Amino acid sequence: MVCRVTRWRQDLGRGEVYDSEADEFLEFDASAALVADFHLGEVVEITVRTIDGQRRVTGIGPASAGGNANGAAPAVPLLCYQITRWDPVSGRGEIYNANNDRLLGFDASVALADDFRVGEDVEATAQTIDGELRITKIAPVAARPDPAAATAVIPDALCAELERANRLIRGSFAWVEPQKRSGDGRLELWVYNQEWPPPSRPIYGVIAFDGVLYDALGEFDAVPISAYPWTHWKKHNVELAASWAANMAREPSPDSFVFAFEGERFDGPRHHVVARRLEVREIDPP
């Protein structure tokens, strides 16, 4: 249903639209909104439900005017939704928003994961197509473990170094910067403290990799490091391993490891290093 915004107070998260067909003003609040701001006179598309005998706005977002050829409005994000049903066999599921009591269905063609869990938070985008709100993309909020994680066996000495590295990373709000030494197969990550008063920005730790055959690193906020034996990891990540082959001088030896920097969000960046050895050095602040 297409209406116009007649009132909107962003500071209060409350507004009003006019339904010309019913000659009725309908109030709404931010819990029903698909966008963060509205303008007086703006054309919007709303969904309405009759609750306790009263028509209430349960969804409001940009109208399909100005959309694409199939009558779809620009995609907008959906906020505060959780999985209520997911069937991996049929590839169909539902998400629910308790704030506006809205239930929306989706299928595997728009999903970026195939292992949704009932009750977990998701991030989705939707479009109004032919008057119906349809999910166009959906993904979990929480990151998924590497496929090799469940069965990987790591030597005790490497586990100890990983623990030191992750303790260093978690010790402060840190970010890392790669420092490459050309030709000797060594890569150092310098860990900085972002909270240190500028312009001083001392290094308070170094995470070094030896025997490096592959890395795809830039500057990034520090996230926990995991390690997997190369031969084991490759079996579980065939396509990704094949995509790295062109950038490797040779096949990693059986005693090489994949070191993965894995954040907590599904859509977060993942960084990898293929190397034989990890060493951590902590530096006392001046």
Distance between CA 173 and CA 279 in Å, rounded? 21
- Report whether 135 contacts 110 (CB < 8 A): yes
Nearest to 70 by CA among 130, 14, 118: 130
pLDDT-derived band at 267 (thresholds 50, 70, 90) equals confident
Tens digit of pLDDT for each residue in 174-231? 566 777 665 678 888 888 766 655 555 677 788 999 999 998 776 666 678 999 999 9
Parse the chain into domains and list their residue ranges: 2-62, 76-140, 149-282
Domain 2-62 identical in fold to domain 76-140: yes
Give dist(CA 16, CA 18) in Å, integer: 7
Q: How much is the pLDDT for 49?
A: 87
Q: Phi first, then psi: give them for residue 7, nearest 5 degrees.
A: -160, 140
Alpha helices, DSSP H, located in the chain: 156-170, 230-236, 238-244
Mean pLDDT for the stretch of residues 29-51 = 83
SS3 of 106, please?
Answer: strand
Is-contact 142 120, C-beta < 8 A? yes
Q: Could you give phi then psi for residue 235, rounded to 5 degrees? A: -65, -30
Question: Percentages helix, strand, coil for the chain, rounded to the nearest 5?
Answer: 15, 50, 40
Q: Give residue 190's pLDDT.
A: 82
Class of domain 2-62: mainly beta
Q: Among 116-125, 139-148, 176-185, name the one with the lowest average pLDDT.
A: 176-185
Task: Characterize the bridge pairing of strands 220-221 and 225-229.
Answer: unpaired
Query: Is the peptide bond between 145 and the residue preceding it cis, with omega within 30 degrees of 0?
Result: no
Which tokens in the block code for residue 3? Answer: 């209406």
**Residue 106 and residue 114: Cα distance in Å, rounded?**
12
User: In the predicted model, is pLDDT for residue 286 greater than 60?
Assistant: no
* Percent of the chain topping pLDDT 90: 34
Sequence length of the chain is: 286
Mean pLDDT value across residues 106-116: 94
76-140 CATH: 2.40.50.140
- The tokens for 116 are 């949704």
